[in-house]
Amino acid sequence: MGAVPPEIAELVRVQDRISFLYLERSVIHRDANAITATDERGTVHIPAAALGALMLGPGTTISHHAMMLLAESGSTVVWVGERGVRYYAHGRGLTLGSRLLDAQAALVSNRRSRLEVARRMYSYRFPDEDVSGLSMQQLRGREGARVRKLYRYHSERTGVRWSRRDYDVEDFLGGDAVNQALSGANISLYGVVHSVIVALGCSPGLGFVHAGHARSFVYDIADLYKAEYTIPLAFDLALDPPIDIAGEARRRLRDEMVDGAFLKRCVNDIYELLLGEKNASDVVAPESDDVWVWDGSADGSGSPVLEHGTGEGAAWS
């Protein structure tokens, strides 16, 4: 039978979890309410309910029971390539309601509200500029100028030469030290942001600035933090490059996020962007899993049609 699945009230809130864990060349299994990772050095136990995202690199094998536990615990599983720089797929997080998803879909489907959310995103990144009246093209122009200025600043600060952002997924080692470190740090940042988005029930693909990709919203949210986290980290590492610069970038980023402040900030930013709510208390799952039928109202509300949305044998009311 295995261990009893944890109740929603027992789960660790998203912002209080370990941000991410990267594993490669190991076997992942389940032991009660923990997952185990085994390699030639031995076995470690990781509490599943405290894990935000599990990133599985090359040479990993994960059991059915381990995946069941991670799903029950609301932890996202992301399959990535060597050095964690290629994204393949992800597993679902634990969410039953659609409040944030409904708001996201409504905002992105209207040109005016989509632009307003994009403006708010840029205002987070450039708080000293008034972007309230800018078009999307003007916002992108401002962003390009600010990012180039940021790269020049860190190049001068560290003395590391910088030419341009150059990332070839087919030739990772062909990039210079800064580009390798940026790629390693950014893919880890994407994994953490992806886990928060999925855990909150949002769509990774419904972006406001980015579009046309299954992770557009992931890139939108991750861009809010690159100037603070991954860009300075990449230049610092490139000053004296380690042998595995992408791996070291991933570990350094993890260390910066270990106190949970980043996850709380990410949750609150998403709530504020989509719902206008600040300092969100956060939910791993909604208050109930009832299913409703839209009654034609403007707010998208409706009437319940199932006694219990996910219960076996749920009947029409």
Sheet of 18-23, strand order: 18-23, 51-56, 76-80, 87-90
Q: Are strands 87-90 and 42-47 parallel, antiparallel or unpaired?
A: unpaired
- Annotated binding residue at 220? no
- Annotated binding residue at 116? no
- Annotated binding residue at 176? no
Would you list which residues are annotated within the binding site for Mn(2+)? Answer: 143, 210, 223
Would you list which residues are annotated within the binding site? Answer: 143, 210, 223
